């Protein structure tokens, strides 16, 4: 079967790999759609994503959906042909965690994730014609959610988790800074959670247009000198740009909440953080999700239309070009989709 495999920095190939073998407790999913994530792009450009360093060839992709092609032994409640998306995480090791963290599985000390080089052997991803999946990782898609939309459930889950980390947002003002895919989906998540007014800020007019279509009330184009709002109750920082932090913190009212979901650089950074103290702002991190992917699927069934996010699509054979477009924001790309079959 064909798969999208990164071998090293600037070495991405579409090549033949072995078909998977379905074991007990597993199913084989015939993948139909995949969404390219910033972490996928990082592996292709640099051979590194966060702290994970590419050491061996890796099939990319953790935002995927398709239909069940084969059901293994000891699997019940699913059937061939059923349309599904996939929770990409696997908890590893017999760890003891603090009682208050027991339900926060995204903070488990060791997690394997589709398309990740964090462990060796690497956890192969889903940008391939077929992929074995544990039955407990499956999330069934309702009739009203296509597999193309289903491939967006994973990043939507990340965005929902970020909004949830802020606490109650119903009736509150929310600023989302950085309107790439996660930021734009955070706009939709905040709107679905009942935010009274959602501000979206970005350098890119194209990104802001998508954020507007996903529910932002006010668009702030920073590149044109437009200023961030003042005294918002909640801010979601989704750009991951340290230089943006000072302005975002200043936009949050005294006693407000700032959630950092955009990945900051792993090393030392320079940022204006003084207002966190003087304005007594709660600064909270947000990492992946627990099971908000299930909520994402439910919201996409008639509540949230994610189609504005999906700006480009390419066939699996054209994955190299798809990654070039995904890496270049001047193309107007947001979520670039791969048609895997």
Q: Which residues fall within 8 angstroms of residue 193, CB to CB, at 6 or more apart? A: 163, 164, 169, 170
Instruction: Give CATH 3.90.180.10 domain extents, the chain.
Output: 2-152+306-339
The CATH architecture one would assign to domain 2-152+306-339 is Alpha-Beta Complex (3.90)
Q: Using alpha carbons, select from 316, 287, 299, 304 the residue that is nearest to residue 105.
A: 287
In the chain, residues under CATH classification 3.40.50.720 are 158-285
Cβ pair 303, 327 in contact under 8 A: no
The pLDDT of residue 329 is 87
Question: How far apart are alpha carbons 130 and 116 in whole angstroms?
Answer: 17
Find out whether 4 and 127 touch, Cβ atoms under 8 Å: yes
CA distance readout (Å), 258 to 37, 92, 211, 278, 297? 23, 31, 19, 14, 26
User: Cα–Cα distance between 204 and 185 in angstroms, integer?
Assistant: 16
In this predicted model, what pLDDT tens digit does every residue of 283-322 receive, in sequence order? Answer: 999 999 999 999 999 999 999 999 999 999 999 999 999 9
For the question of whether the overall pTM of this predicted structure is more than 0.85, the answer is yes
Condensed to tens digits (0 to 9), the pLDDT of residues 24-79 reads 999 999 999 999 999 999 999 999 998 899 999 999 999 999 999 999 999 999 99
Model confidence at 126: pLDDT above 80: yes
Of all residues in the chain, the percent with pLDDT exceeding 90 is: 91
Torsion of CA 305, 306, 310, 311, to 10 degrees: 60
**CA dihedral (69, 133, 292, 153) positive or negative:** negative
**The domain 158-285 is classified under which CATH number: 3.90.1640.10, 3.40.50.2300, 3.40.50.300, 3.40.50.720?**
3.40.50.720
């Amino acid at each position: 079967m064909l798969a999208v495999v990164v071998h090293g920095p600037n070495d991405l190939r579409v090549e033949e790999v072995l078909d998977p073998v379905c074991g007990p407790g597993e199913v084989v999913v015939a993948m139909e759609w995949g969404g390219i994530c910033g972490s996928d792009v990082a592996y292709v450009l640099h051979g590194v994503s966060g702290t994970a360093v590419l050491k061996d060839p890796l099939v990319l992709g953790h935002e995927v959906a398709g239909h069940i092609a084969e059901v293994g032994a000891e699997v019940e409640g699913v059937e061939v042909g059923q349309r599904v998306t996939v929770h990409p995480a696997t908890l590893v090791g017999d760890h003891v965690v603090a009682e208050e963290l027991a339900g926060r599985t995204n903070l488990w000390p060791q997690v394997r994730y589709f398309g990740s080089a964090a462990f060796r052997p690497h956890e192969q991803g889903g940008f391939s014609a077929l992929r074995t999946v544990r039955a407990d990782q499956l999330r069934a898609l309702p009739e009203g959610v296509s597999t193309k939309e289903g491939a967006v459930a994973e990043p939507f889950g990340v965005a929902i988790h970020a909004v949830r980390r802020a606490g109650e947002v119903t009736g509150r003002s929310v600023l989302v800074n950085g309107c790439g895919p996660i930021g734009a989906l955070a706009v939709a998540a905040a709107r679905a959670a009942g935010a009274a007014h959602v501000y979206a800020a970005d350098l890119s007019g194209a990104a802001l247009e998508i954020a507007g279509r996903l529910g932002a009330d006010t668009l702030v184009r920073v590149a044109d000198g437009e200023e961030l709002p003042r005294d918002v109750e909640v801010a979601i920082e989704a750009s991951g740009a340290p230089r943006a932090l000072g302005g975002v913190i200043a936009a949050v009212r005294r006693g407000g909440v700032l959630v950092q979901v955009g990945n900051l650089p792993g090393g030392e950074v320079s940022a204006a953080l003084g207002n966190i103290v003087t304005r007594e702002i709660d600064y909270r991190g947000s990492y992946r999700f627990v099971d908000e992917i299930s909520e994402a699927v439910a919201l996409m069934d008639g509540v949230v239309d994610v189609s504005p996010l999906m700006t480009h699509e390419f066939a699996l054979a054209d994955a190299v070009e798809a990654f070039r477009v995904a890496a270049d924001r001047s193309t107007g790309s947001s979520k670039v989709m791969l048609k895997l079959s």
